[in-house]
Homo-oligomer: A and B are copies of this chain.
Amino acid sequence: MAIELKGLTKRSENYSQWYNELVVKADLAESSAVRGCMVIKPYGYAIWEKMQQQLDKMFKETGVQNAYFPLLIPKSYLCREAEHVEGFAKECAVVTHYRLKNAPDGNGVIVDPDARLEEELIVRPTSETIIWGTYKNWIHSYRDLPLLVNQWANVMRWEMRTRLFLRTAEFLWQEGHCAHATAEESEQRTVLMINTYADFAEKYMAMPVIKGVKSANERFAGAINTYTIEAMMQDGKALQAGTSHNLGQNFAKAFDVTFVNKENKPEYVWANSWGVSTRLMGALIMTHSDDNGLVLPPHLAPIQVVIVPIYKNAEQLAKISETVNPIVEELTRLGISVKYDDSENKRPGFKFADYELKGVPVRLAIGARDIENGTVEVMRRDTLEKQVEPLQGIVPFVASLLEEIQENIYQKALKQRESMTRTVETYDEFKEEIEKGGFILAHWDGTPETEDKIKEETKATIRCIPLDGDTTPGKCMVTGRPSARRVLFARNY
């Protein structure tokens, strides 16, 4: 796991290459021997674990419980909900056999032709079908509702063009699948979860998002309504960071899941599903990082503070450690994860560059002279600013600096988004502006045809119909027909 510190492409030179290199150089993930599948390395996985733990806590606070459903789904299940299979599940890994055997030529193993499955099984691309197939046995009466279940799992979609974290054949995610007695309650839960995602994105990832509703074209296959949170990356492209789908009674009807309501009448169950994935890792990296490497929000950084001793001999190191150890203890007691890197086989300059690359929010460097002066050098990763601070009171100083960094990178990302969000009136203007990147708010007549035309001609899609913001009606920039309100356009990941 040697660290390659040099030669990170600059964002201004080639943003896409900068991202690809950074993911690998910062030890987050790498491609595997299996096409399109990634290995998430320990440092990358530690960030994902922090995301998971926080999200899991937030879900549970809303009453959600975790469960686990099978990885493999019978092929026939996918066809039950007509739109679902049409829009969704064709590119997937198909299990056809259940046994290997020794090759007759003695060379390795072959698939045993006698071990063919009667019905092929699909590695889950998402679990609505298997879960609603199961809920049929769990739900009988309104007393069994609501059923608020989440699953942390791996899923697979046979993507042709893959990029680490952003689009991989296998990825990790959570998928919530709730069942309700009324349409209103299900809609409330759908909105609650998109709000939960937005809170998580803003408070933990320090990533501002726009909440909105997808157009029919961009809706989840089988949903009656899809809510989304959309973030802007530093190159001005949009990234869909989480979705929450109101499924109406579609899956309940497809899998015949009814309940006896309070009036003692059978009724189909109301459903929603919602998910975020390891794609959030890509969003996190692209929102904050710079030409020196990762910039991590303190609330998700596996190491929040690193302390590097600068010494010439064992005696000096011993003195420094004497001062540093109580600081480490105090920070730890405050719940701050701190690493004292007194390893001897790397020079301080190498350590500095490495922790910068890894995005550690705060670095303290302390030498023999500092001990004499009662000072310490503090470097904050977001601005790369250094300052000398008194050792006295350094613990509360660091604690408050971490919060300051969290807020600062959020505000920086918000300003960047605001500076790259424009309102346009005409389609010509739109075509010109979309080339510059960023978000464009424009009027649209609400038809899939117009949306398709815009996408074809400009590669921009409707990211969402924002929940907040200007709701003044107007005229579609393409057709001149009436538009209920401006919608958000962008090119996207």
Contacts and interface: CB of A to CB of B under 8 A. Distances in A.
A68 B109 contact: no
Contact of A70 (B32, B42, B49, B73): B32
Contact of A99 (B92, B144, B345): B92
A342 to B, nearest CB: 16
Q: Which of A70, A99, A101 has the most CB of B within 10 A?
A: A70
A134 interface: yes
A161 B366 CA distance: 63
A358 to B, nearest CB: 14
A158 B73 contact: no
B91 A98 contact: yes
A37 B123 contact: no
Interface in A48-84: 49, 65-79
Given A34-B74, A39-B134, A96 B111 contact: yes
A72 B143 CA distance: 41
A67 B95 contact: no
A67 B72 CA distance: 23
Given A34-B73, A70-B170, A95 B94 contact: yes
Contact of A40 (B39, B68, B93, B140): B68
Main secondary structure of the interface of A (DSSP, over half): mixed
Contacts of A424: none
Contacts of A138: 1
Contacts of A130: 32-34
A423 interface: no
A170 B73 CA distance: 12
Nearest to A122: B100
Given A33-B77, A94-B95, A143-B345, 14 more contacts: A32-B130, A33-B130, A33-B133, A34-B74, A40-B68, A45-B68, A71-B154, A75-B109, A90-B100, A91-B98, A92-B98, A93-B97, A94-B99, A98-B158
